[in-house]
Amino acid sequence: MEWERQQEVVRKAEKLVEETMGARDASHDAAHAYRVRDLALSLAKEEGLDDHCFEIVEIAALLHDIGDYKYTKDLVEDTSILEKFLKEEGLEDSKREKILSIIKGMGFKNEVAKISCFDFSTEFGVVQDADRLDAIGAIGIARCFTFGGSKNRVLHDPKILPREDLSRQSYMNKDEKQTTINHFHEKLFKLKDLMKTEAGRRRAEKRHRFMQDFVAEFYEEWNGRA
């Protein structure tokens, strides 16, 4: 009976993902949420999490981008839809608080600001690592250029250098003129060393190398040397 209830909550979470993220550009659409869910569950198994933790991991992974500030009117994180959903589904307080804690703490903007995450649990680690794995490697490259294109950013401009020592405010400032290729230097190349789990670190190695090779080739071709 409990398993059936959990599956019903997951189905409703998937429906919410489709309703709120289905019309977004492909960098942060419903398919991204499903990939992160699958990665998180896979990492959870590798990390040896107990079965009772899987519901928290799956729902947090599915819903982690529902209120993403990049897609809100005022560029402010909005968890109201998420909180309403969890309450209506009748999840016990401890699970609801755990899921919210994971989602609120996992953003790269918190790391930039040196803000400690809300949750240091393995559940937090596998969900955050899964989201970051989807931001690197072949999929990460595709997502990066998709998002840049949706914001009409130039691919590369040698006069615009990657920003160093980013603050939370400057990282979240989407009005500042930036290039898509600079995002690799400002964020994506840093993610490998920010993985929280051993399973995440193992998978990140291959994706990181692939990304490095791509960016090196990009510069070779941009400068007419390849």
Domains recognised in the chain with CATH numbers: 2-222 (1.10.3210.50)
Q: Is the confidence at residue 115, as pLDDT, over 90? A: no
Q: Is the confidence at residue 117, as pLDDT, over 70? A: no
Alpha-carbon dihedral sign for residues 211, 138, 35, 73: positive
Question: What are the Cα distances from residue 123, in Å, to 8, 44, 116, 164, 223?
Answer: 21, 7, 16, 31, 44
In the structure, what pLDDT confidence band is assigned to residue 103 with cuts at 50, 70 and 90? very high
Q: Is the confidence at residue 176, as pLDDT, over 60? A: yes
Q: Is the confidence at residue 62, as pLDDT, over 80? A: yes
Q: Kindly give, in sequence order, each residue whose CB lies less than 8 Å from that of residue 129, ignoring residues fewer than 6 positions away.
A: 39, 40, 43, 195, 196, 197, 199, 200, 204
Share of the chain above pLDDT 70, in %: 90
Burial 202-226 (b: 16+ CB within 10 A, else e): ebbeebbeebeeebeebeeeeeeee
**Tokens representing residue 181 in the block:** 């290729």
What pLDDT, in 10s, does the model give residues 46-60? Answer: 999 998 899 999 999
> End-to-end distance of the chain based on CA atoms, in angstroms?
61
Gap between the Cα atoms of 222 and 226, Å rounded? 8
Least confident stretch, 48-62, 122-136, 157-171, 178-192:
157-171
Gap between the Cα atoms of 19 and 37, Å rounded? 17
In the structure, what pLDDT confidence band is assigned to residue 116 with cuts at 50, 70 and 90? low
Share of the chain above pLDDT 90, in %: 73
